[in-house]
Chains A and B, each alone.
Chain A
Amino acid sequence: MTTVIPFGPQHPVLPEPVSLKLEIDDDVVVGVLPSLGYVHRGLETFINTKDFNQTTYVCERICGICSALHGITYTRTVEKLFDTEIPERAQYIRVIVGELNRLHSHLLWLGLFADGFGFESLFYECWKYREEVLDVAERICGNRVIHSISKVGGVTRDLTKEHIDMLLKMCDSLETEIKNIEKVFVNNYTVKQRLVGLATLSKQVAYEVGTAGPTLRGSGNAIDVRETPDWDIYKDLGFKTAVEKDGDCYARTKVRITELLNSLTIIRNAISKMPEGEIEVRVKGFPTGEAIMRTEQPRGEVIYYVKGNGTKKLERLKVRTPTFANIPSLLLMLPGVKLADVPIVVLTIDPCVSCTER
């Protein structure tokens, strides 16, 4: 006989409200019914009252963790609509801030995840390292979480010599620290016991249901927007997509740790390649037409669509966020999992519900 147990919307492990109705047989999940819509804010309609420069700030508030990358994707989409080429230095600054975003998002996730399986000291350790990244971000952008660095036509702030020294110092200290926690996540007996073989998603299924980000790469698909011509600035920043074959929770954790180290490499290379010069260009006129652009966020691929109608306000903005793409795979992962492991499985897709609902 099966029982239906509600999981969420408020749950100690979940940072954000998502409600799952779990159909339980004995101790094992046999069916899931998700329900979303607790944090819908109507931002896509709200932009009809703001001009396209002001919309950048609205887009950054879609999600608190990947805020800079939302802003960067939006501005890149509008620049495509305007057919504007921004200075190379501005592109490199965007890459650096985007990678800082990825670093602090993944460290936050690793901490929450450790907390999810009851490893409190590891949780504090991860968040301590995240603090270093946030301090650097505060000094570069002026804010800790909502970075507001990107604007239509370039970036708002330049990197000084001091900032670059600080970034390099942060890269060095974080590298040793991440290698320390990597040892714990990869070799610890308890962690392995909890994660290996849990909620396996095969390569083919992950590809077919349109999974994105580390969940997709944890299943053996080497797909990353940063390697495609859509974001070509990355092609000579010397990073290699992190892929794991197993497709279980352990593989997804390892992918995220490897991505942390990749981000450090990218920041170092971007600093060494960054040219001097202007950081913004003026954009003039009011655009018409449509544009679409995608970017790799910490959680996966985000797609922005904008439509201009010749006035200073955009007619339509549509965002497809990575968590939305990952929910079908979550529903495939959960059946067969024990009730006690459900929080861990939900956390491995790194759910960001306020992104999904906007």
Chain B
Amino acid sequence: MGMLNLVLTNISRKPATRLYPFEIREPFKEFKGRIVFDPENCILCGLCQKKCPPDAITVTKADKTWELNLFRCIMCTECVNGCPKGCLSISNERAKTGAKEVIKIAVPIVDKPKAPKAAPSK
């Protein structure tokens, strides 16, 4: 008897599902969608690489590049919390399917002139 009631109420209800590719639900604002990297402030310290559990990030000091392997990233946000310069953030947009596997971003780090050595005290 219980099931008949459920079936009758479901007939008069609007569908529980969405016509997916045509109707896309807005992502929730708390959703962890993908990692966004802002190369401006990065100092290539490599902390994010050290913290990342599945080794998705590679920081190469020699070529000044920051690399993220999208297929490896598990959206744990350890790198976001660990970055001292705040150049990593998380966006609630879903990563597009068929995205490139690796994003490689050049970091425009300027070689600062070395600070002159302090004069030896007498």
Which residues in A have some Cβ–Cβ distance to B below 8 Å? 50, 53-54, 57-58, 121-122, 125, 128, 131, 135, 138-143, 146, 148, 156-157, 180-181, 183-184, 187-188
Q: Say whether, besides A50-B53, A54-B53, A142 and B3 are in contact (CB < 8 Å).
A: no
Taking the complex as formed, is B6 at the interface, i.e. its CB lies under 8 A from any CB of chain A?
A: yes
Task: Tell me whether A184 and B6 are in contact (CB under 8 A).
Answer: yes
CA–CA, A170 to B14, complex, Å? 19
Task: Tell me whether A156 and B5 are in contact (CB under 8 A).
Answer: no
- Nearest CB of A to B14, in Å: 12
Task: Tell me whether A143 and B75 are in contact (CB under 8 A).
Answer: yes
CA–CA, A142 to B27, complex, Å? 10
CA–CA, A50 to B54, complex, Å? 9
Report the interface size class on chain B. Answer: 20 to 34
The main secondary structure of chain B at its interface with chain A is loop
Q: B76-118 vs A: 1/0 string, CB under 8 Å?
A: 1110010000000010000000000000000000000000000
Taking the complex as formed, is B20 at the interface, i.e. its CB lies under 8 A from any CB of chain A?
A: no
Which residues in B have some Cβ–Cβ distance to A below 8 Å? 1-3, 5-7, 10, 16, 28, 30-32, 51, 53-54, 74-78, 81, 90
CA–CA, A21 to B76, complex, Å? 41
CA–CA, A125 to B3, complex, Å? 10
Tell me the nearest residue of chain A to B92, going by C-beta. A142
Sampled A-B contacts (13; CB under 8 Å): A50-B53, A121-B3, A121-B6, A121-B7, A125-B10, A131-B16, A135-B28, A139-B31, A142-B75, A157-B30, A180-B5, A180-B6, A188-B3
Q: Say whether, besides A143-B75, A156-B77, A187 and B32 are in contact (CB < 8 Å).
A: no
Task: Tell me whether B32 and A142 are in contact (CB under 8 A).
Answer: yes
Question: With a CB–CB cut-off of 8 A, which chain B residues contact A157?
Answer: 30
Q: Say whether, besides A142-B31, A143-B32, A57 and B2 are in contact (CB < 8 Å).
A: no
Checking B1, B6, B76, B90 against A187 with a beta-carbon cut-off of 8 angstroms, the contacting residue is: B1
5 additional A-B pairs beyond A148-B76, A188-B3, beta carbons within 8 Å, are: A121-B7, A125-B6, A139-B30, A142-B75, A180-B2
CA–CA, A156 to B3, complex, Å? 41
Question: With a CB–CB cut-off of 8 A, which chain A residues contact B5?
Answer: 180
CA–CA, A138 to B76, complex, Å? 14
CA–CA, A80 to B5, complex, Å? 50
Question: With a CB–CB cut-off of 8 A, which chain A residues contact B74?
Answer: 57, 146
